[in-house]
Structure 1
Amino acid sequence: MIVWLGGTYGAGKTTTARELAEILPGARVFDSEEVGGLLRGILRDEWPGNFQHWPMWRGLVVETARQVLAYTGGTLVVPQTVLSEAYWEEIEGGFRAAGIPVRHFVLHADEETLRARIAGDVEPESAAAGPWRLAHLDAYARALEWLRARATVVDTAGLTPAGVAARIARTLSA
């Protein structure tokens, strides 16, 4: 199974994914951004501004997950923001064609909470990405309508990543 954690940048997907992988039996975190990093290294002269724009990224994410699950079994927890409905349909369709069930969750908080979290993130890489994350809040807001229709929205305001992970684990076991 794939447990896909979406939401806006800075919502706590990666931290929640680590927490969730600790409590779900046989779960592993699959950081699909690493597939993007691989492609960016190979195709550095063809950078489209976001690795998700490369169709091969979407295909490689599906194929990598398929092969890892065939090898290990269990669950892959994927913390990745996808704001293009067409891209999500392609990814989800690839998993469906491979016979891999997907549970899509969107980690959501109101804009004020998100801005405070982004501003308060002291991890060097995350703090450096703060302005970039803030610049994408509008794109997330525009995508929220289709995300709400296609995923289970988890309100993370007032919850720790461990609390969010526990809520998702309960939903999965229900």
Structure 2
Amino acid sequence: MLLWINGPFGGGKTQTAHEIQRRLPGSVICDPEHVGFGLRRMLPPGLRANFQDLASWRQGVVEVLDLALTRHDGVVIAPMTITDSGCFAQTVGRLRELGHDVRHFALLAERETVLRRLRERGFGHLLRYVAGKDAPLRGESWAVGQLDHCLERLREPEFGEHLWTDQSTVPKTADRIAVLAGLTLAPNTEGALRTRLRQVRVGVKHMRFD
């Protein structure tokens, strides 16, 4: 089974993927973003754009996930934002055509909720403490610029299953996905502080500077 976790940038895809992987023995995360940033780094800076526009990215993601799903004995988790219908058909749709059990989930939230989460990514809590809760989202301008488009597109029926997460924690969202996919996660026994520290580590690890 493939769990494709979609959603706006800053919507909690990566954190939710890691929460599921932590509590689901044998599961692995195969992040399509790694393929995309590898392709971007091959290009001169002036030619770097949305890597999803590259056929090599779409084909590569399908090839790698097909291999993982065929050879790995466990659930595969792919956290990746996709809002274009054609790109969705050529990745998620193509994997379904190959016979894989693909469960797609779009994590949605109100605009202000996503903006707050963007401020809290990585070292965001420290920034908010130093500069105030309304500190500008330096380094997140691209994500903010894409936010309205993402939220509008992902509400469309083709991007179901929709999960609204405004009032949900990451562990609770992971629980909901597991139930809908017919999976059983190990109980979440972490305290709030330990959970937050782990999420900060995950956020810092996935910070991009190019």
Please say whether Structure 1 and Structure 2 have the same fold, judged by a TM-score greater than 0.5. Answer: yes
Partner of 1:159: 168
Conserved in 2, the CA contact under 8 Å of 1:59 and 1:94?
Answer: no
| C-alpha separation in 2, matches of 1:46 and 1:116 | 31
Query: 1:136 is paired with a residue of what secondary structure?
Result: helix
Q: Which runs of 5+ in 2 are unaligned?
A: 125-136, 184-210
| C-alpha separation in 1, matches of 2:70 and 2:88 | 22
Task: Indicate which of 137, 140, 151 corresponds to 1:141.
Answer: 151
| C-alpha separation in 2, matches of 1:98 and 1:28 | 20
Question: Cα gap change, 1:35/1:46 in structure 2, threshold over 3 Å: closer, same or farther?
Answer: farther
TM-score by length of 2: 0.74
How far residue 101 of structure 1 moved from its aligned partner, in angstroms, is 1.4
The answer to whether structure 1 residue 50 and structure 2 residue 50 are counterparts is: yes
The answer to whether structure 1 residue 17 and structure 2 residue 17 are counterparts is: yes
Question: Cα gap change, 1:60/1:3 in structure 2, threshold over 3 Å: closer, same or farther?
Answer: same
Structure with higher helix content:
1
Q: CA-to-partner distance for each residue in 1:126-154, whole Å, 9 max, x for gaps? A: x65422211111211331343x3332111
Which range moved further: 70-79 or 39-48?
39-48
| C-alpha separation in 1, matches of 2:79 and 2:171 | 15
Tell me which structure has the larger Cα radius of gyration.
Answer: 2
TM-score by length of 1: 0.88
Query: 2:28 is paired with a residue of what secondary structure?
Result: strand
Partner of 1:66: 66
Partner of 1:92: 92
The answer to whether structure 1 residue 113 and structure 2 residue 113 are counterparts is: yes
The answer to whether structure 1 residue 169 and structure 2 residue 184 are counterparts is: no
Conserved in 1, the CA contact under 8 Å of 2:2 and 2:101?
Answer: yes
The answer to whether structure 1 residue 7 and structure 2 residue 17 are counterparts is: no
Partner of 1:76: 76
Q: Which runs of 5+ in 1 are unaligned?
A: none
| C-alpha separation in 2, matches of 1:97 and 1:48 | 31
> What percentage of aligned pairs have identical amino acids?
32
Q: CA-to-partner distance for each residue in 1:27-62, whole Å, 9 max, x for gaps? A: 111111100122123334683511100011011101
Higher relative contact order (CA 8 A, sep 6+): 1
